[in-house]
């Protein structure tokens, strides 16, 4: 019987030094990455990279913690100069 595993994959649209767009896929479960010229290609490439990685290092299957699809959410964060300024005035260090 085949076991099914689900990997966390995050895709970010980035730009190469010549300003060409590229989609970078990161498998957060295993710490590997791949890329493609569009999202579909990036997904195909990261799937192949994951399969090759696990083929070469089958002991890494124990690092995969879930056989359930991961939960995913997006949040919007805005930078507030007013809050950052207020924190600096009070001597609070921030990551802004």
Domain extent, residue 62, equals 9-71
The answer as to whether 36 is a domain residue is: yes
The answer as to whether 83 is a domain residue is: no
pLDDT digits (tens, 9 = 90+) for 16-68: 999 999 999 999 888 999 999 999 999 999 999 999 999 999 888 887 766 66
Predicted local confidence at residue 96, as pLDDT: 44
What span, in angstroms and rounded, lies between the C-alpha atoms of 46 and 72? 18
CB contact at 8 A, 45 and 58: no
Q: Total domain count for the chain? A: 1
The answer as to whether 59 is a domain residue is: yes
Give me 70's structure tokens.
């991961």
For the ranges 4-8, 47-51, 69-73, the lowest mean pLDDT is seen at 69-73
The answer as to whether 64 is a domain residue is: yes
Q: Report the first-to-last Cα separation within the chain, whole angstroms.
A: 50
The answer as to whether 21 is a domain residue is: yes
């Amino acid at each position: 019987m085949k076991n099914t595993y689900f990997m966390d994959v995050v895709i970010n649209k980035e730009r190469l030094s010549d300003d060409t767009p590229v989609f970078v896929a990161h498998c957060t479960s295993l710490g590997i990455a791949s890329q493609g010229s569009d999202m579909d290609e990036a997904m195909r490439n990261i799937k192949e990279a994951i399969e090759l990685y696990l083929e070469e290092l089958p002991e890494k299957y124990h690092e995969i913690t879930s056989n359930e699809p991961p939960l995913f959410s997006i949040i919007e964060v805005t930078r507030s100069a007013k809050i950052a300024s207020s924190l600096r005035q009070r001597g609070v260090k921030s990551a802004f």
